[in-house]
Amino acid sequence: MTVPVPTLDIAAGCAPAPSPDSERRAWLVAATAMGCAATAGVAVPLVASFTPSERAKAQGASVEVDIGSIQPGEIKVVEWRGQPVWVMRRTPEMLAQLEATDGLADPQSRAAQQPPYATNGHRSIRPDVLVAVGICTHLGCSPVKLEQGSPNPSVGSDWKGGFFCPCHGSTFDFAGRVFANKPAPSNLLVPPHQYLSEQTLLVGEDGTA
Ligand code: FES
């Protein structure tokens, strides 16, 4: 049986919303990784190895992530429930910038869309580690990382760094908080997660179920 393969606009970095179909899930994660890498170029150190484990392939399985190899500023992408999950090690400069950012739609993540440990300014358990679903909350495209000073004309000269969705221009800071008056209605989703050790993150379970 021939399985139709969806087209991919790598230049735009877009991907449709995920579906339960396994072929489509794998494609979505790959598209996200390529979108990030293609757009970021040298500026985005993307950890290449995100091949899902056999355990992760099972629907709903939690995913263990070794965060010890992620350097400051890097993003590691893992698959969870068919979605790309970003695990990003934030630099001290990024964290400082989060405190100074204004113009956000929901700076403290009050909307009921994420675990309680994400209802703070950095939207994470550990300030230095962002864990977020890498899918735009507007129509499901794949945002890309843009550093401060990016020449991308879609962000202004005062851009302090964050994520940019090339489909309709939504912008997010390095906590995944959406800027006001953008198409995306809410911050990037934070999946349930917990730390098993200093270097091991578990995505998909937080002990509250
Ligand atoms: S899908 Fe991201 S802004 Fe529309």
Ligand 1 pocket, residue 30 CB under 6 Å: no
**54 confidence band (pLDDT: 50, 70, 90):** low
Domain 22-203: which topology?
Rieske Iron-sulfur Protein (2.102.10)
Given a contact cutoff of 8 angstroms between Cβ atoms, the answer to whether 191 and 203 are in contact is: yes
Give the pLDDT confidence score for residue 112 in this predicted structure: 73
Q: What are 99-133's pLDDT values in tens digits?
A: 888 899 998 888 877 899 998 889 999 999 999 99
Question: Per residue in 65-82, pLDDT tens?
Answer: 999 999 999 999 999 999
CA 155 / ligand 1 centre spacing (Å): 15
Distance (Å, rounded) from C-alpha 59 to C-alpha 5? 21
Clarify whether 168 is annotated catalytic: yes
What pLDDT sits at residue 179?
Answer: 95
Choosing from 138, 178, 179 the residue with most ligand 1 atoms within 8 A of its CB, the one to mutate for a pocket test is 138
pLDDT value of residue 61? 86
For ligand 1, whether the C-beta of 167 sits within 6 Å is: yes
More reliable by pLDDT, 45 or 140: 140
For residue 156, the model assigns a pLDDT of 83
pLDDT digits over 12-44, tens only?
344 444 443 444 444 344 444 444 433 333 333
Kindly state the percentage of the chain with pLDDT values over 90.
56
For the chain, what is the mean pLDDT? 78
Containing 54, the helix (H) or strand (E) segment is helix 54-57
CA dihedral over 103, 193, 47, 17, signed as positive or negative: negative
Cβ-proximal residues to 119 (8 Å cutoff; 6+ apart), any chain: 108, 109, 110
C-alpha span between 3 and 207 (Å, rounded): 38
